[in-house]
Amino acid sequence: MTVAAVVAVTTIGVTVGVLLGGRGESDVGPFRVAFHVTLATDGGTEVAVPPLGSLFLDSHDGPAQLTARLDSLDQRRTEALINDPASLAHAGESAPQDLRDALVRLGLRTLGVAVLASMLLAAVTFRSVRRVAWAGGLALLMTGSTLGTAAATLRPQALAEPRYEGLLANAPALIGDAQRIADDYGRYAEQLQRLVGNVGKLYASVSSLPIYQPSPDTTRLLHVSDLHLNPAAWPVIRTVVEQYDIDAVIDTGDITDWGSEPETNYVSMISQLDVPYVYIRGNHDSPRTAAAVASQRNAIVLDNSVTVVAGLRIAGIADPRFTPDKRDDASGPWAESPTTVEGAGRLLATTIRALDAPVDIALVHDPASAAALNGVTPVVLAGHTHRREVTVLPKTGEVTTRLAVQGSTGGAGLRGLEGEEPTPLAMSVLYFGPDRQLKAYDDIRVGGTGTAQVSLDRKVIEAPAISATVPSGVPSPAAAPSPSAVPSPTVRPGDR
């Protein structure tokens, strides 16, 4: 009976000790990595890469499982590595040793805390020095054998056979051709860094044109859509918000790619914008994505609902589909809604008609939802197609409806880097007058075409358009090419 009691107390102590001591952080190359050891029957290693997901390695047998989470990238060390090829080579050579040292420290910490926790629990339970010593020795044996089994069954070849979950499961190019993607993205990000400042200069030049001069009481909205997890989109959005004195940002969905939990970290950048952020869910966004957006201090999530922002009444509805989930038995929050895309438009139109006040803007993700809103509201904003297009719908009543479909503000996400040239980032500034009517809009494209370029195409309602293109600098508006010279984003089947 006494032996069983000592074993039980020791088991509890080891479990608590592993829970408390089996955690640590360490620098591995430019990364700050958080390690976590847990007791598990099947062993293995999980490498979490927010917001892309996780990869799982059958690295060792149980009963200990290792989780390594890439928490942050030290910008100073990363820049130093990039600027010094010798340091980069040294980091590649030292990373395995950094990892081994971190795991040894983690193992010793786990062992020490497990033994200490078992001895303290035995002292409280038995109040006997002998039984405390037994508990300590048994904890040393149990924890040591657990960690020893993991070390003895280590399989380095498991690195070549990972299992992916989250975004990584659907982006094998990140693993199979990581160097090409990294090189392409490095060049692309370098271009965008130069381009962001030019957006403000461009606006200063074009806004002085006599064809349209926004009045002081003009309301400016920034329409974005289909960011698809591209981190390069946020600096551009933030700069346009500041330079154009934007009153609110409208996002018509697909802010993520797969709607997974790791991707929710991406939306935290919304709170860094000092203006309201109105969002509807796209077919690549899950309910948890919408919940993550709603948790941001300045965000408003619409789903068959209405809000008033910057003096404009805005209605919106989520896309009824969740296309990343291809399972036939999809159920719960990941399942597709029985509502069709067209039905979503009809449902929103019914909601708008039931209001006492007119709606100025309706938001849908797929332009196929817009037909039912024709004649119900003067402006319908959409995304989904990754192609910018503005059309006036056939008039069916007193209200003339203009459908504005946005291109991809994220440049189609990672897919935008698959071609020889990155897909441009697209967004639009909408100008509403004091009468809450759309007066003009600026279509902005940043990057792409293989050169440093910002292009802006200004459209004035019931007036001709003036276009301007800004390469590395800002030429005079008179030197700007026509709209036909501005490249359109490329859309491939399955990319939406």
Per-residue model confidence as pLDDT tens digits over 162-179 = 665 544 444 443 333 444
Domain spanning 187-485 has what CATH number? Answer: 3.60.21.10
Task: Tell me the average pLDDT across 426-452.
Answer: 81
Q: What are phi and psi of 220, to 5 degrees?
A: -110, 125
Q: Within the chain, which residue ranges are assigned CATH 3.60.21.10?
A: 187-485
What is d(CA 179, CA 88) in angstroms, rounded to the nearest whole number? 14
Express each pLDDT in 152-162 by its tens digit: 887 766 655 56
Query: Which is higher by pLDDT, 262 or 327?
Result: 262
What is d(CA 20, CA 113) in angstroms, rounded to the nearest whole number? 7
Amino acid (1-letter code) at residue 31: F
What is d(CA 99, CA 78) in angstroms, rounded to the nearest whole number? 18
Query: Which is higher by pLDDT, 82 or 300?
Result: 300
468 is written with which tokens? 């301007």
465 is written with which tokens? 């358009």
pLDDT band for position 77 (cuts 50, 70, 90):
low
Cα–Cα distance list, 47 to 53, 68, 162, 442 (Å): 9, 5, 10, 43
Q: Using the structure block, give the residue that is written with the tokens 């293995």.
A: 44
pLDDT of residue 86: 54
What is the torsion angle, in degrees rounded to the nearest 10, for the CA atoms of residue 156, residue 158, residue 159 and residue 161? 160
Task: Tell me the average pLDDT across 455-467.
Answer: 67
pLDDT band for position 477 (cuts 50, 70, 90):
very low
Classify each residue of 418-448 as buried b or exposed e, where b means 16 or more C-beta atoms within 10 Å of its C-beta: beebbbbbbbbbbbbeeebebbbbbbbbbbb
Express each pLDDT in 384-415 by its tens digit: 999 999 999 998 878 999 999 999 988 755 55
What is d(CA 307, CA 311) in angstroms, rounded to the nearest whole number? 10
What is d(CA 250, CA 227) in angstroms, rounded to the nearest whole number? 12
Burial class (CB in 10 A: 0-12, 13-18, 19+), 123: middle
Q: Mean pLDDT, the chain, as a whole number?
A: 75
What is d(CA 226, CA 236) in angstroms, rounded to the nearest whole number? 14
Q: Using the structure block, give the residue that is written with the tokens 């189609």.
A: 412
pLDDT of residue 51: 54
Query: Which is higher by pLDDT, 173 or 120?
Result: 120
Highest mean pLDDT among 28-32, 210-214, 342-346, 468-472: 342-346
Does residue 317 have a pLDDT over 90? yes
Does residue 81 have a pLDDT over 80? no
Lowest mean pLDDT among 34-38, 245-249, 460-464: 460-464
Query: Which is higher by pLDDT, 494 or 107?
Result: 107
59 is written with which tokens? 């690295």
